[in-house]
Amino acid sequence: SQQGEEDPQALSIQEGENATMNCSYKTSINNLQWYRQNSGRGLVHLILIRSNEREKHSGRLRVTLDTSKKSSSLLITASRAADTASYFCATDRGTGNQFYFGTGTSLTVIP
């Protein structure tokens, strides 16, 4: 079964704007990861945040994690047309590095 749910399901913004997407999950985790999937391509890892971390940055990406609310958010600043893709959160729970993906947010950045 899916571990997480992303919100919104779809998001459309103008180039240069910021995009925020959220992920909620159900059980305790070791870490939470965000992946991007372009049309017709495989999944690409973006960023990993551990359960004892609250915020992490990587270039134009900012991820927050609130374990008390079992939620995470991904902020993409100054979006570009090339950011158009589906974004998935994946939770790593248990003891075996098992990654469970959410339902995804489809982001469209309009040039």
Partner 1 sequence: EAGVAQSPRYKIIEKRQSVAFWCNPISGHATLYWYQQILGQGPKLLIQFQNNGVVDDSQLPKDRFSAERLKGVDSTLKIQPAKLEDSAVYLCASSLGLANTEAFFGQGTRLTVV
Question: How many angstroms separate the CA atoms of 6 and 71, rounded?
Answer: 10
Shortest reach from residue 109's CB to partner 1, in Å: 20
User: What tokens does 58 get?
Assistant: 């990587």
Shortest reach from residue 108's CB to partner 1, in Å: 15
Shortest reach from residue 2's CB to partner 1, in Å: 6
Q: Which is nearer to partner 1, 79 or 91 (CB)?
A: 91
Q: Which is nearer to partner 1, 6 or 83 (CB)?
A: 6
User: What tokens does 49 get?
Assistant: 């945040």
Any idea how long the chain is?
Answer: 111
